[in-house]
Amino acid sequence: MKFIVCIKQVPDTTNVKIDKRTGRLIREGIPSIINPEDKNALEVALRLKEEFGGEVIVISMGPPQADEALREAIAIGADRAILLTDRAFAGADTMATAYSLGSAIKKIGKYDLVLCGRQAIDGDTAQVGPQLAEFLSIPQITYVLEVNIEDNKIIAIQELEDKRVKWEADLPALLTVTAEANKPRYPSAYGIMSAYKEKEVEIWKMKDLDVDEKRIGMDGSPTSVKRIFSPEPKGKGEIIKDEPKKAAEILFNRLRAKNIL
Amino acid sequence: MAIYINRDLCSGCGLCVEICPFNGVKLDEEDIAILLDACNECGACIDECPVEAISIELIKEGVIDISKYSGIWTFAEQRDGKLTRVAKQLVGKARQLADILGVRVESVLLGHNIAELAQELIQCGADNVYLIDHPMLENYQTDLYTKAIYDLTMEKKPEIFIFGATHMGRDLAPRLAQRIQTGLTADCTELTVDETERHLLQTRPAFGGNIMATITCKNHRPQMATVRPGVFREPEKDLSREGNVINIKPDISKSYILSRLVKFLKLEKKIVKLEEAEVIVSGGRGLKGPENFPLIQELADLLGGEVGASRAAVDAGWISKDHQVGQTGKTVSPKLYIACGISGAIQHRAGMQASETIVAINKDPDAPIFKIADFGIVGDLFKVIPELISVLKAKKEKEMVV
DSSP class per residue in A194-254: IIIII--EEEE-GGGS---GGGSTTTT-SEEEEEEEPPPPPPP-EEE-S-HHHHHHHHHHH
The pLDDT of residue B194 = 93
* CB pair distance less than 8 Å for B183 and A95: yes
Per-residue confidence at B37, pLDDT binned at 50, 70, 90?
confident
Pick from B206, B219, B375: CB nearest A254: B375
The pLDDT of residue A16 = 63
Q: Which of residues 140-199 of A touch B (CB under 8 A)?
A: 140-143, 155, 157-170, 173, 179-180
Would you call B275 an interface residue with chain A, using a CB distance cutoff of 8 Å? yes
User: What distance in Å separates residue B243's CA from the closest CA in chain A?
Assistant: 31
Residue pairs spanning A and B at CB distance below 8 A: 249
Is B302 a residue whose pLDDT tops 70? Answer: yes
d(CA B165, CA A130): 14
Is B350 a residue whose pLDDT tops 70? Answer: yes
Span B269-294, average pLDDT: 88
The CATH architecture one would assign to domain B274-401 is: 3-Layer(aba) Sandwich (3.40)
Helix B167-180 crosses helix B142-156 at what angle (to 10 degrees)? 50
The pLDDT of residue A147 = 97
Sequence-ordered list of residues with C-beta below 8 angstroms from that of B314, at least 6 positions apart, any chain:
B320, B321, B323, B324, B329
Please name each of the domains of chain A with its CATH number: 2-215 (3.40.50.620)
CATH class belonging to B66-256: alpha beta
Kind and range of the H or E run holding A42? helix A36-52
* CB pair distance less than 8 Å for B271 and A162: yes
Location of each CATH 3.30.70.20 domain in chain B: 3-56
Span B28-33, average pLDDT: 88
Mutation target for B interface from A97, A127, A128: give the one with most B CBs within 10 A: A127
Span B288-316, average pLDDT: 94
The pLDDT of residue B400 = 55
Is B29 a residue whose pLDDT tops 70? Answer: yes
Q: Which of residues 170-229 of B touch A (CB under 8 A)?
A: 170-171, 173-175, 177-179, 181-187, 201, 205-220
Would you call B353 an interface residue with chain A, using a CB distance cutoff of 8 Å? yes
Would you call B378 an interface residue with chain A, using a CB distance cutoff of 8 Å? yes
* CB pair distance less than 8 Å for A239 and B365: yes
Is B210 a residue whose pLDDT tops 80? Answer: no
Per-residue confidence at B62, pLDDT binned at 50, 70, 90?
very low
- Percent of chain A at pLDDT > 70 equals 92
Would you call A27 an interface residue with chain B, using a CB distance cutoff of 8 Å? no
Q: Give me chain A's average pLDDT, please.
A: 91
d(CA B62, CA B76): 31
A contacts of B275 (beta carbons < 8 Å): 161
Location of each CATH 3.40.50.1220 domain in chain B: 274-401
d(CA A219, CA A92): 8
B contacts of A258 (beta carbons < 8 Å): 357
A contacts of B363 (beta carbons < 8 Å): none
- Residue B21 phi/psi, 5-degree rounding, is -75, -10
d(CA B97, CA B367): 36
A contacts of B210 (beta carbons < 8 Å): 13, 16, 18, 25
Location of each CATH 3.40.50.620 domain in chain B: 66-256
The pLDDT of residue B1 = 45
d(CA B78, CA B118): 11
The pLDDT of residue A27 = 62
Q: Residue A244: how many CA atoms within 13 Å on its side-chain side?
A: 15
Topology given in CATH for the domain delimited by B3-56: Alpha-Beta Plaits (3.30.70)
- Residue B304 phi/psi, 5-degree rounding, is 70, 35
Pick from A127, A223, A245: CB nearest B387: A245
A contacts of B315 (beta carbons < 8 Å): 14
Burial of A163 (C-beta count, 10 Å sphere; 0-12/13-18/19+)? middle
Pick out chain A residues at pLDDT < 50.
none
Is B100 a residue whose pLDDT tops 70? Answer: yes
Is B360 a residue whose pLDDT tops 80? Answer: yes
Alpha-carbon dihedral B257, A139, A212, B21, rounded to 10 degrees: -30
* pTM, two decimal places: 0.77
Per-residue confidence at B351, pLDDT binned at 50, 70, 90?
confident
Q: Which of residues 29-88 of A touch B (CB under 8 A)?
A: none
Q: Which amino acid is it at B67? A: S
Mutation target for B interface from A22, A101, A145, A161: give the one with most B CBs within 10 A: A161
Highest mean pLDDT: which range of A186-190, A196-200, B150-154, B388-392: B150-154
Kind and range of the H or E run holding B20? none
For residues A220 and A214, the answer to whether their CB atoms sit within 8 Å is yes
The pLDDT of residue A226 = 87
Mutation target for A interface from B310, B387, B393, B397: give the one with most A CBs within 10 A: B387
Q: Looking at this predicted complex, what is its ipTM?
A: 0.89
Q: Which amino acid is it at A140? A: Q
Residue (of B306, B305, B348, B355) closest to B330 by Cα position: B348
B contacts of A164 (beta carbons < 8 Å): 264-265, 267
Mapped onto helix, strand or coil, the DSSP state of residue B173 is helix
Q: Using CA coordinates, name the residue in chain A closest to B377.
A: A240
Q: Give me chain B's average pLDDT, please.
A: 90
* CB pair distance less than 8 Å for A229 and B211: yes
User: What distance in Å separates residue A22's CA from the closest CA in chain B?
Assistant: 12
Burial of B116 (C-beta count, 10 Å sphere; 0-12/13-18/19+)? exposed
Strand A17-18 relative to strand A25-26, pairing = antiparallel
Is B243 a residue whose pLDDT tops 80? Answer: yes
- Count CB atoms within 10 A of the CB of residue B377: 29
Is B6 a residue whose pLDDT tops 90? Answer: no
B contacts of A225 (beta carbons < 8 Å): 213-215
Residue (of B297, B402, B281) closest to B335 by Cα position: B281
Q: What is the DSSP string of B304-339?
A: T-EEEE-HHHHHTTSS-GGGBBSTTSB----SEEEE
The pLDDT of residue B209 = 63
